[in-house]
Amino acid sequence: MATLKQHRPDGRIGGGTIRPLSSELSCLNRADGSAKFSSGFTQVLAAVYGPAAPRNPSRERSGEASLSIVFKHATDVSDIGLPPGYGSSVRELERFVGDSLAVCVAVEEYPRTVIEIVIQVINADGSLVGTALNATVLALMDAGVLMSSLPVTTTCLVASNGTGNSNLMIMFDPSAEEEAKDDVAIIVLVSDSVEEGSLLTSMTCGAFQLSSFLASAEGASRASKAVVAFWRIAMEQKVAREANTLWST
């Protein structure tokens, strides 16, 4: 697998680098947990409501909580800055997010409740699905929802280097300009933060070889460590701020 060394459109050198991360926790007063999460110029606001009793009794499950995922103000993938290959509707993205979280959230600890997650896209500049999922996990931590592990999402772009499909390049955390090219495939990988190398689920767009997928999964496992480290710092800073506020005179 070739290694990309030239400058990328946003100034990064090499395919193995991700964009700067930033976050703001507890930014919504009425939500039980919220997080504004940015990867480069892609910014997503995620809010968590619950666990709470469902408004509709048909949503109630006797042995576990149900997850409700909502992408607000978008009816088609093009409305939130995604290439058409990601799916035909936002409902598919909501299902992907829900399925990714369902294996990590301890839903059995919250029977007969609903955990509603609202995802608002503020700015889309590539890797939107991965940024949305990472924002959601941070919001769940802010809400104190119990999870068995943290699903970490990495977006990989497989691009031809012009010498044939047998020689491809992989770029992590692609920008919108990189995703818009005709000769690329996009792989969104959700990894388990507890079991190293464990892949929970994936979403793909475009044609690629199995070797490209396996190389992307291996690289995503390494890249996810940087995201987890960032989450830890963000939560530690939040706890420190709250402690200073609580005991300040």
How would you write the pLDDT of the chain (249 residues) with one tens digit per residue?
444 456 788 888 888 889 999 999 999 999 999 999 999 999 999 999 989 988 877 778 888 999 999 988 666 666 666 666 566 578 888 999 999 999 999 999 999 999 999 999 999 998 999 999 999 999 999 999 999 999 999 999 998 655 444 456 889 999 999 988 888 899 999 999 888 778 999 999 888 889 999 999 998 988 899 999 999 999 999 988 888 876 655
Q: What residue segments make up the domains of the chain, in order of their start? A: 21-247
| Cis amide linkage into residue 51, ω under 30° from 0 | yes
**Which residue is listed with tokens 């987890």?**
228
pTM score, whole prediction: 0.90
What is the reported pLDDT for 1? 43
Closest CA to 46 of 25, 61, 19: 25
What is the reported pLDDT for 34? 97
**Distance of alpha carbon 10 from alpha carbon 191, whole angstroms:** 26
What is the reported pLDDT for 184? 87
Closest CA to 49 of 108, 119, 96: 119
What is the reported pLDDT for 157? 92
First-residue to last-residue Cα distance in the chain:
59
Half-sphere exposure in the Cβ direction for 216 (13 Å, CA): 30
Closest CA to 170 of 58, 4, 53, 32: 4
**Distance of alpha carbon 128 from alpha carbon 126, whole angstroms:** 5
What is the reported pLDDT for 191? 92
CA distances to 42, 48, 83, 150, 207 from 103, rounded to whole Å, are: 26, 17, 27, 10, 28
Closest CA to 178 of 156, 162, 209, 163: 156
The domain 21-247 is classified under which CATH number: 3.20.20.100, 3.90.550.10, 3.40.50.1100, 3.30.230.70?
Answer: 3.30.230.70
